[in-house]
Amino acid sequence: MRKYLKEYIELIDSKLSSKNKDWQKIINEHLIKIKFFQHERFIHLCVTLFYALFSLLSLALITLHPIFIIVSVLLFGFLIPYIFHYFYLENGVQYLYKQYDLLKKKMD
């Protein structure tokens, strides 16, 4: 998803710097892509929150049995990359909003 988002951002940036005349078509396609990326971002937010919840739960279970230390380490090991990935998606979608604003200015 990172590569896809990065390539799409670069594509729109190149279209913004070109002398294109069909801005409405580009805007309509851009809005559709924004919806796709928003959906992806929401799914990753849910996954990240569940990983965080289960990670905290596993910390509480350590008091019952020390074997849960392994589970906690594994869950936190996955949680940290998920957090970074979610923030990459969040920042990418916010950049898409800025691109949309620039496209609207180009159209006007």
Cα 91 from chain centroid (whole Å): 7
53 assigned to some structural domain: yes
Q: How far apart are CA 32 and CA 89, in angstroms?
A: 16
* 6-49 confidence digits (pLDDT tens): 999 999 898 888 887 788 888 999 999 999 999 999 999 998 99
63 lies in which domain range? Answer: 2-9+21-107
In a domain, 90, yes or no: yes
CA atoms 67, 63, 57, 82: torsion sign: negative
Q: How many domains are contained in the chain?
A: 1
Verdict on whether the full-model pTM lies above 0.95: no
Does a structural domain hold residue 66? yes
> Rounded distance, CA 2 to CA 93, Å?
11
> Is 71 a member of any domain?
yes
Q: Where are the strands (E) in the chain, listed by range?
A: none
- Dump pLDDT digits (tens) for 74-98: 999 989 999 999 999 999 999 999 9
Q: Are 107 and 24 in contact (CB under 8 A)?
A: yes
Residue 15 lies in a domain: no
